[in-house]
Structure 1
Amino acid sequence: MMTTVTSTATEQTTRMTSAQRREQILAAARRVFAESGYAATTDEVARAAGVSQPYVVRLFGSKRELFLATYQQAAEEVNTALASPPEGLSPEEAEDAMGAAYLELIEDRDLLRLMMHGFIAGADEEVGRIARHCLGEAYRLYLARTGGTEDDARRFVAFGMLLNVLVALDATGHKGEDVGMDGLIECVFLAANERRTA
């Protein structure tokens, strides 16, 4: 009979802290909720994270609390990116820097799809509060950083939302299906690329 010897040193170096495990679960929840929305289960999140479902529930309490934590993290990421350009830039530089920061977020399609699911799940008062704050903060940050007009801020937020919707729909992956959508994609992404290279 063979006995297996385990190295406690190896176990200690690979064992995650509860904070690391929490982040691992939140990352998995972002992917799962981005794919399936609020209909996703804690069991699906647990499988994606490589942990047990009871462990997820023990850490977060319920699916709702897990969704809220995941959504709050995503909203904070959006607002942190929009706040990242340093103060003291000219209005044009500030707008370009904020636009470029948002365009970098677009690389994470899960983040944007999760945000869209949150807008849909906004009937939940707490999810709605987070979603409203995220949009309102984008508007406020634009005014504060650029000194632009309220109309400028509205256009900036609206353009960002349009980009979000197009990315969430994987619009560029379906070019050729609809003439109107093709025209919209070309117009929007041309404007986004101009902002990125400005």
Structure 2
Amino acid sequence: MNTVEGRLSSDDRREQILAAATIVFGDRGYAGGTTDAIAKQAGISQAYVVRMFGSKENLFLEVSRRATGRLRVAFRDIIAGFTGEETNLERQVALGRAYGQLVADRGILLTLLHLFGLGQDPVFGPEARGCFLDVYRIVRDEAGFSAEEATEFFARGMLNTILLALRMPDLKDDPRAFELLSSSMGEQCETILASFEAQASAAG
């Protein structure tokens, strides 16, 4: 057994496994991700992963909650900095930039997509819907958007999510790809692409 298991605190071990599981589930999805692959990614034993989380289902739930929790925190951190002088367009841009920086982490990006793709699942479906509606409430009530503004914000966000999941930034030298990215991401395009490239370089 890797000595990492003995060195880290319980909270650190938990985060270590969740970070590894985010990568594995992001790459392989829920069906393809295994506790064995997650254990290897984390550098610990499979038995230790199962002992801490109980099952792959519980682990995926925790990975999903970790990703959606970070999204809530990212949005609330931005909202806390609003002065009341911003236009709603400026607020949308600020929140969009925060979202882009968060999902530059490909594991988080793909985990969110996998979770939302499991809407029919009796366990993961309610989790996905609850997360989506909670973030919608944050945008409506805490950021102060109208229903129409919130809908526009989510529509653009989902398009950006798909473009990043497709690795469209890899084709930034293709004028069609760059036009689409620029049109969808607006003035935060360069910031999001820089974060995306930095994450890709770190992973590589």
Q: Give the TM-score range, shorter chain.
A: 0.7 to 0.9
Cα separation, 1, equivalents of 2:142 and 2:92? 8
- Kindly tell me: are residues 106 and 44 of structure 1, through their superposed partners in 2, closer, same or farther at Cα, counting changes over 3 Å? same
Q: Does 1:44 align with 2:41?
A: no
Counterpart of 2:196? none
1:59-74 mapped onto 2 (5 Å cutoff): 59-74=52-67
Counterpart of 1:163? 160
Counterpart of 1:184? 180
Give the deviation of 1:125 after TM superposition: 2.5
Cα separation, 2, equivalents of 1:156 and 1:25? 33
Given the alignment, which residue of 10, 18, 22 partners 1:30?
Answer: 22
Q: Which letter maps to 1:58?
A: R
Percent of aligned pairs sharing the same letter: 37
Give the deviation of 1:102 after TM superposition: 1.4
More off after superposition, 183-192 vs 132-141? 183-192
CA contact (8 A) 2:93 2:188 kept: no
Given the alignment, which residue of 150, 154, 170 partners 2:151?
Answer: 154
Question: What do the CA deviations read for 1:50-85 (whole angstroms, capped 9, x no partner)?
Answer: 111111111111111111110111011111111112
Q: Which letter maps to 2:47?
A: P
TM-score norm. by structure 1 comes to 0.81
- Kindly tell me: are residues 172 and 195 of structure 1, through their superposed partners in 2, closer, same or farther at Cα, counting changes over 3 Å? closer
Cα separation, 2, equivalents of 1:147 and 1:163? 22
Cα separation, 2, equivalents of 1:195 and 1:36? 28
Counterpart of 2:142? 145
Structure 2 unaligned regions, length at least 5? 193-204
Larger Rg: 1
Cα separation, 2, equivalents of 1:99 and 1:175? 20
Q: Does 1:89 align with 2:81?
A: no
Give the deviation of 1:162 after TM superposition: 1.1
* Aligned-partner SS, 1:121: coil
Counterpart of 2:200? none
Q: Which letter maps to 2:35?
A: T
Q: Does 1:99 align with 2:96?
A: yes
Structure 1 unaligned regions, length at least 5? 1-10
